[in-house]
Each structure stands twice: as structure tokens, then as C-alpha cells.
């Protein structure tokens, strides 16, 4: 069968047509399409997909339709190989608290935390966390044992996170605004043995059967513990925290994140500049995975972390802290970003790196931000909780094309593979168009959950993906651009 792509009819009756003629030498096909909607490259790929499909049918007509291939060999190599070749060096064998201790050795007197008028150096934070870790170990906390943490942002809260990890345990962040029944379920579901909190929150917490430590009133006793780094059997492939998703269609679902998952997020990546010169503003709830980037992104690189004192940030309070502490790196949810750009863009002075996401970004707000914040690098950060904060990132260019309809979510970050699959777990072709994308329900799978273990190589479409779908639990619509970037079009949960 021959396909003719070179005939120019000047006008197209339909967006896309295929005209077939039955001749003695075989079928002659001609595509007619609107050049306002489609380009030559898309049609060439479409022809290749059709020819691949027809050849497979001829070879084995008894195959089930869902088993027939559609991708051309070179396209499959691009999707599964070239565009997923993201391996970079990162500390896959180290625990999170070991990396923090490296910074303590390197910069002991550098400021690690700032909360209102209080500061804490790396050495001081390490001592506090060590003392708490020794206390937790004496209470029986060990490798992968869960410890609940329900606290407002404070120096003690961060010491609590670090102390739990140093003891060998995994922290379970509990939002004080959650209903008591939800908090009880999370503590029971994780089989937590200890709860770290503060006196003001005791009335809302289910504490029966738990060893409760109020950190802001218990340090006198904890100060009697050793200041030395504790010893535990925890390794990089052990649990670091359990974070619960919204559970909007049923019970909350706990996501288990390992130490090396956090390291994968923060090392060997190029979506942001992370080092000791950075100043982060931590204002995400500790139960929201953006806090992983804010807290550990600073502390594992020797940077400063400014803790927002109010539970719900406002544009004014954010701007005040940015100016006072010369914040360089900031994460904003898309909704908060839009609100600030609409009403108070002057509150974002001097930010070097502004990451935003959590939902599809507004092109109009991004255009306005590019005009108003010329010295700021804007990054679209995308990823479900299951993949540890970010799966894909896109550094937004200074100029956007006039016909841009959505902000891409970019490419996989370092040591992460992304596959866009249909409902039969087959790779979706390059160039799926926006008006056809709703015909294909696809899943984004980040292999960092189950595959990216130390010493293992990332492999194309591994069989473990079928098990990983149980973690993702959502169907998401994407389009793959010719540049290997991803466009995000929407989500429908099906938990």
C-alpha cells in the first residue's frame, strides 16, 4: 500500500481524511488534513502507526486487537529509551539523616533553621535530634517503626522529623486540621507506637495506647540523653515516612516513601539549583509532600530553611519573610501562585527559583508572572505523592508562543522514568493531539517507588508496573510533544 503525502489540495473538507483507491497494483492512500491543526510530522507518524498495525495483522490475524503493536521501532526506542535515559549520580546508598550529618560536619555553625526570632545552627539541630532519637530508641522505636508527628511549624517540629529518622523510624505527618477520626485511622493504620506533639494539640488527638511526647515542654528531660549520633540498622531502602493522600473517594491511602526516594528528588537533578547558598521558605503543611522539597532540600545541602509561623500563609506574610530573610527558593501551589500574581506580585521580590504546581498551571498567570518577575526562574513541578513530590519538571522559558494552550509539565527528573500508557499498558504514541487525548485514558508511572532501588538499572516497561498501578490509583490525561515534553490535560480519580 502506498500513501501519498505530497498532494496539496489547498483546502480540506474535514480536519483529517483518508482517501483509499483500489488499483491493480494495490491500495493507494491519500491523507487530506487541515494544516491549521496538523503538521507533516504528525501525519508521517500516523502513517507509520497504521502501517505497523496492518503489517502485524497480516502476520497474525488471530491476535487480539489490544495486543497489536502500533509504535514504529524508532519511536518505541525514543519513548522507552532515549527520553527515559535519566540516570545521574546521586547518593542512593545513604540515609537522609546521614546526608544531614555530612552537612553538620561541613558547616556546623551555619544557620539551619529560622523561626520568628529564633535560629538553630546545624550543630544545635543535630544535638537536639540526637537526644530525641536516643529517647525514641529507649521507647522501642527501631527500623521502619512509625512515629506520629502532629505539630505546628517550629524548630522542635523539624528536630522531631530528624530525630525520628535518626532513631531508625519513619515519621507519619498528621495535620492538626484533620478530623479526629481521620487522625485515629492514620495512627492505627501505620501501627504508630509513639506520638510527638505539643500541649495545645492534645485535646484533638487520639492518644490511647500511644507514648506521647510533647516536644516543646519535654526538652528538659530529653536534654539528659546523649548528644552523639545514634546507631541504627536503617538503610537507604528502609521507610522514611508515610504520607496519606486525600482519600476523597474513600479511606485515606498511605504512601510509603523510602530514604533513597527523597535523595532521588534532591540530588543529581537540574530542575533547581540546590546548594548551601540557597534560602528556602517552608510553608507547606508537613502532611503535604511539597514539605519534603522545602525541608530536606535545604537541610541536605547546608542551606537555610525559614519556617513560616502561621498555619495558613498570606501573600503579605510570604512577602515579609522573603524580604526579611532574602529567600531565594520558593514553592507555591498553583492556586496560591495565581492569587499572588493577581493581587500582590510585589510580594515576590528577589526570588531566584519559583516552583509551582499541584494542578494545571494557568497560561495567563504564567504570562503575567514572566512580565512582572523578570529575574525569577519559573518551574512547573509535577508529581503525585507516590513518586516523592516531583516526577517531571519544566523550566518555563522567558517567552511563550502566542498559541500556547497549556504549560507543559516537562521531562522526567534525574533517575526517574515516565511511561504514558493506555488502559492495556501499551505505550501511547508521540503526538497524541489534544482533541483526541480524551479518547485515550493513560497513566503516568514514576518508577522510583518500586524500581529505582540502589544497584538496579531502570528498564523499559518493566513487569512491576502492573503492581505499581495500585500505588497510583488515578487516571490522568497527557499528550507527548515532539520535544519529549509532556502536556497535562486533567485527572480523574478512580480509587
The pTM (predicted TM-score) of the whole model is 0.85
pLDDT per position as a tens digit, 223-282: 999 999 999 999 999 999 999 987 555 678 888 999 999 999 999 999 999 999 999 999
Cα distance between residue 135 and residue 129, in whole Å: 10
Class of domain 96-414 (CATH, top level): alpha beta
As a whole number, mean pLDDT of residues 134-143 equals: 97
Domain boundaries, the chain: 2-70, 96-414
pLDDT per position as a tens digit, 4-36: 555 565 677 788 888 888 888 888 888 888 888
Percent of the chain with pLDDT over 70: 83
pLDDT per position as a tens digit, 77-86: 888 788 888 8
Vertex 138 angle, CA 196 and 242, to 5°: 40
pLDDT of residue 488: 57
pLDDT of residue 413: 92
Residue 316 has pLDDT above 90, yes or no: yes
Percent of the chain with pLDDT over 90: 59
pLDDT of residue 23: 87
pLDDT per position as a tens digit, 347-397: 998 999 999 998 999 999 999 999 999 999 999 999 888 889 998 999 999
Q: How confident is the model at residue 198 (pLDDT cuts 50, 70, 90)?
A: very high
Cβ-contact 338, 388 below 8 angstroms: no
As a whole number, mean pLDDT of residues 125-143 equals: 97
Q: How confident is the model at residue 429 (pLDDT cuts 50, 70, 90)?
A: confident
CA distances to 322, 353, 463 from 383, in Å: 26, 18, 22
Amino acid at each position: 500500500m502506498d500513501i501519498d503525502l505530497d498532494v496539496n489540495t489547498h483546502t480540506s473538507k474535514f480536519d483529517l481524511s483518508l482517501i483509499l483507491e483500489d488499483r491493480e497494483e494495490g491500495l493507494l492512500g491519500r491523507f487530506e488534513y487541515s494544516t491549521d491543526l496538523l503538521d507533516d510530522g504528525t501525519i508521517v507518524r500516523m502513517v507509520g502507526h497504521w502501517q505497523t498495525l496492518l503489517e502485524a495483522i497480516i502476520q497474525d490475524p488471530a491476535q487480539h486487537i489490544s495486543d497489536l503493536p502500533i509504535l514504529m521501532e524508532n519511536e518505541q526506542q525514543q519513548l522507552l529509551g532515549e527520553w527515559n535515559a535519566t540516570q545521574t549520580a546521586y547518593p542512593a546508598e545513604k540515609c537522609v539523616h546521614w546526608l544531614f550529618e555530612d552537612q553538620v560536619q561541613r558547616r556546623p555553625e551555619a544557620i539551619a533553621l529560622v523561626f520568628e526570632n529564633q535560629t538553630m545552627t546545624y550543630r544545635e539541630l543535630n544535638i537536639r535530634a540526637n537526644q530525641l532519637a536516643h529517647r525514641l530508641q529507649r521507647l522501642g522505636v527501631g527500623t521502619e517503626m512509625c512515629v506520629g508527628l502532629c505539630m505546628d511549624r517550629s524548630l522542635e517540629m523539624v528536630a522531631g522529623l530528624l530525630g525520628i529518622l535518626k532513631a531508625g523510624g519513619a515519621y507519619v505527618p498528621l495535620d492538626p486540621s484533620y478530623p479526629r477520626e481521620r487522625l485515629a485511622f492514620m495512627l492505627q493504620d501505620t501501627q504508630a507506637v509513639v506520638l510527638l506533639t505539643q500541649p495545645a494539640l492534645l485535646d484533638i488527638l487520639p492518644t490511647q495506647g500511644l507514648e506521647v511526647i510533647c516536644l516543646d515542654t519535654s526538652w528538659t528531660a530529653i536534654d539528659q540523653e546523649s548528644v552523639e549520633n545514634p546507631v541504627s540498622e536503617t538503610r537507604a531502602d528502609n521507610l522514611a515516612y508515610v504520607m496519606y493522600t486525600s482519600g476523597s473517594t474513600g479511606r485515606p491511602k498511605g504512601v510509603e516513601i523510602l530514604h533513597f526516594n527523597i535523595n532521588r528528588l534532591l540530588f543529581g537533578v537540574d530542575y533547581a539549583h540546590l546548594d548551601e547558598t540557597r534560602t528556602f521558605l517552608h510553608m507547606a503543611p508537613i502532611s503535604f509532600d511539597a514539605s519534603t522539597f522545602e525541608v530536606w532540600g535545604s537541610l541536605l545541602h547546608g542551606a537555610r530553611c525559614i519556617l513560616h509561623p502561621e498555619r495558613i500563609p498570606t501573600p503579605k506574610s510570604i512577602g515579609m519573610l522573603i524580604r526579611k530573610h532574602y529567600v531565594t527558593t520558593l514553592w507555591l501551589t498553583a492556586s496560591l501562585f495565581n492569587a499572588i500574581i493577581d493581587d500582590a506580585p510585589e510580594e515576590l521580590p528577589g526570588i531566584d527559583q519559583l516552583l509551582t504546581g499541584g494542578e494545571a498551571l494557568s497560561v495567563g498567570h504564567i504570562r503575567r508572572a514572566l512580565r512582572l518577575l523578570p529575574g525569577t526562574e519559573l518551574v512547573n513541578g509535577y508529581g503525585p505523592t507516590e513518586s516523592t513530590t516531583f516526577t517531571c519538571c519544566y523550566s518555563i522559558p522567558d517567552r511563550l508562543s502566542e498559541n500556547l494552550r497549556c504549560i507543559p509539565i516537562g521531562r522526567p527528573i534525574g533517575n526517574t522514568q515516565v511511561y504514558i500508557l493506555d488502559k492495556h499498558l501499551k505505550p501511547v504514541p508521540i503526538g497524541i493531539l489534544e482533541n483526541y487525548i480524551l479518547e485515550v485514558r493513560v497513566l503516568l508511572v514514576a518508577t522510583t517507588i518500586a524500581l529505582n532501588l540502589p544497584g538496579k538499572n531502570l528498564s523499559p516497561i518493566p513487569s512491576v508496573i502492573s503492581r505499581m498501578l495500585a500505588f497510583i490509583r488515578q487516571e490522568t490525561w497527557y499528550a507527548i510533544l515532539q520535544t519529549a515534553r509532556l502536556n497535562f490535560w486533567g485527572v480523574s480519580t478512580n480509587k
